[in-house]
Amino acid sequence: MIVVSNNTSKRVSTYAKELGVRYAGSLYKPFAFKLRKFIKKNGIDISKVMMIGDQIITDVACGNGAGIRVILTERLVEDDQWTTRFNRWFDAPRYQKMKKQNLLISWEER
């Protein structure tokens, strides 16, 4: 497992070290160039990579841009920081469209 985040490497390292995993901070998601560079630099087999995230316009877009599989989750917290609240405003119509098209499958159904 590798924690990837738009947050600073300093902040992300705190959580990653607690989990005992590697990390990549300041990724600039939804842009995939830093994620692709991290994967290549670390010799990671891209066919074995899966991104798990709770935002369509950052996590899903970045994963798709990097050519990796993505799992979209529900958000974990009720109160987001302002930047995440802003992103969710853009996510909402996309989420509803995906829901109408039956593209959102719960893990219980899978």
Residue 54: predicted pLDDT: 84
pLDDT tens across 12-66, in order?
999 999 999 999 999 999 999 999 999 999 999 999 999 998 888 889 999 999 9
For the chain, give the percent of residues with pLDDT over 90: 51
As given in the structure block, the two tokens for residue 37 are 């560079």
Per-residue pLDDT band for 94 (boundaries 50, 70, 90) equals confident
Average pLDDT over residues 66-78: 81
The closest alpha carbon to 5, from 22, 19, 20, 18, belongs to: 22
Kindly list the domain boundaries of the chain, sorted by start residue: 2-100
Global pTM value = 0.76
Neighbours of 95 (CB within 10 A): 16
Q: Which of these CATH numbers, 1.10.357.10, 3.40.50.970, 3.40.50.10860, 3.40.50.1000, describes 2-100? A: 3.40.50.1000
